[in-house]
Amino acid sequence: MKIASVSEDNKVEKRIAITPEIAKKYISLGFEVTLSEKYGDHLGFKDDEYQKLGVKISNDEKKLLTESDVIVQLGLLPDDKISLINENQTFIGVLNYEINKDKLSAYIKKKINFFSLELLPRITRAQSMDILSSQANLAGYKAVIDSFSNFEKAIPMMMTAAGTVPAAKVLIVGAGVAGLQAIATAKRMGAIVFATDVRSASKEQVESLGGKFLTVEGSENLETEGGYAKEASEDFKKKQEDLLSETLKKIDIVICTALIPGKKAPIIIKENMINQMHPGSVIYDLAAVQGGNTALTKVDKIVDIDGVRIMGETNILNKLPISASSLYAKNVFNFVVNLYDKEKKNININLEDEIIAKTLLK
Q: What is the pLDDT of residues 157-208, one digit of tens each?
A: 999 999 999 999 999 999 999 999 999 999 999 999 999 998 878 999 999 9
Q: Could you write out the three-class secondary structure of the chain?
A: CEEEECCCCCCCCCCCCCCHHHHHHHHHHCCEEEEECCCEHHHCECHHHHHHCCCEEECCHHHHHHHCCEEECCCCCCHHHHCCCCCCCEEEECCCHHHHHHHHHHHHCCCCEEEEHHHCCCCHHHHHHCHHHHHHHHHHHHHHHHHHHCCCCCCCCEEECCEEECCCEEEEECCCHHHHHHHHHHHHCCCEEEEECCCCCHHHHHHHCCCEECCCCCCCCCECCCCCECCCCHHHHHHHHHHHHHHHCCCCEEEECCCCCCCCCCCCECHHHHHCCCCCCEEEECCHHHCCCECCCCCCCCEEECCEEEECCCCHHHHCHHHHHHHHHHHHHHHHHHHEECCCCEECCCCCCHHHHHHECC
Q: What is the pLDDT of residue 234?
A: 74
Does pLDDT of 153 surpass 80?
yes
Catalytic residue among 7, 69, 200, 228: 228
CA–CA dist 324, 139 (Å, integer):
9
Q: Is 68 an active-site residue?
A: no
137-318, what's its fold?
A: Rossmann fold (3.40.50)
Asked if 157 and 167 count as a contact pair (C-beta separation under 8 A), the reply is yes
Q: What is the pLDDT of residue 228?
A: 53
Q: What is the pLDDT of residue 144?
A: 98
Does pLDDT of 219 surpass 60?
no
Per-residue pLDDT of 11-69, as tens digits, reads 999 999 999 999 999 999 999 999 999 999 999 999 999 999 999 999 999 999 999 99
Q: Is 47 an active-site residue?
A: no
Per the model's pLDDT, the better-predicted residue between 344 and 45 turns out to be 45
Per-residue pLDDT of 221-237, as tens digits, reads 555 555 555 566 677 77
Catalytic residue among 28, 51, 105, 127: 127
Phi, psi of 30 (to 5 degrees): 110, 5
Burial class (CB in 10 A: 0-12, 13-18, 19+), 204: exposed
Q: What is the pLDDT of residue 329?
A: 98
Residue-averaged pLDDT of the chain: 92
Q: What is the CA radius of gyration of the chain?
A: 22
Nearest to 330 by CA among 129, 118, 135: 129
Q: Is 83 an active-site residue?
A: no
Asked if 71 and 85 count as a contact pair (C-beta separation under 8 A), the reply is yes
Q: Is 141 an active-site residue?
A: no
CA–CA dist 308, 280 (Å, integer):
6
pLDDT band at 267 (very low <50, low <70, confident <90, very high): very high
Catalytic residue among 133, 202, 240, 290: 133
Does pLDDT of 360 surpass 90?
yes
Per the model's pLDDT, the better-predicted residue between 117 and 225 turns out to be 117
One fold for 2-119+321-359 and 137-318: yes
Phi, psi of 115 (to 5 degrees): -115, 120
| Rounded percentage of the chain residues whose pLDDT exceeds 70 | 95
Q: Is 15 an active-site residue?
A: no
Nearest to 142 by CA among 282, 284, 252: 284
pLDDT band at 215 (very low <50, low <70, confident <90, very high): confident
Domain boundaries, the chain: 2-119+321-359, 137-318
Question: From 3.40.50.1000, 3.40.50.720, 3.40.50.300, 1.10.10.10, which CATH number describes the 2-119+321-359 domain?
Answer: 3.40.50.720
CA–CA dist 71, 4 (Å, integer):
5
Catalytic residue among 69, 122, 146, 323: 122
| Rounded percentage of the chain residues whose pLDDT exceeds 90 | 79
Asked if 99 and 74 count as a contact pair (C-beta separation under 8 A), the reply is no
Does pLDDT of 241 surpass 80?
yes
Instruction: Using a cut of 0.85, tell me whether the model's pTM lies above it.
Output: yes
Catalytic residue among 26, 130, 199, 290: 130
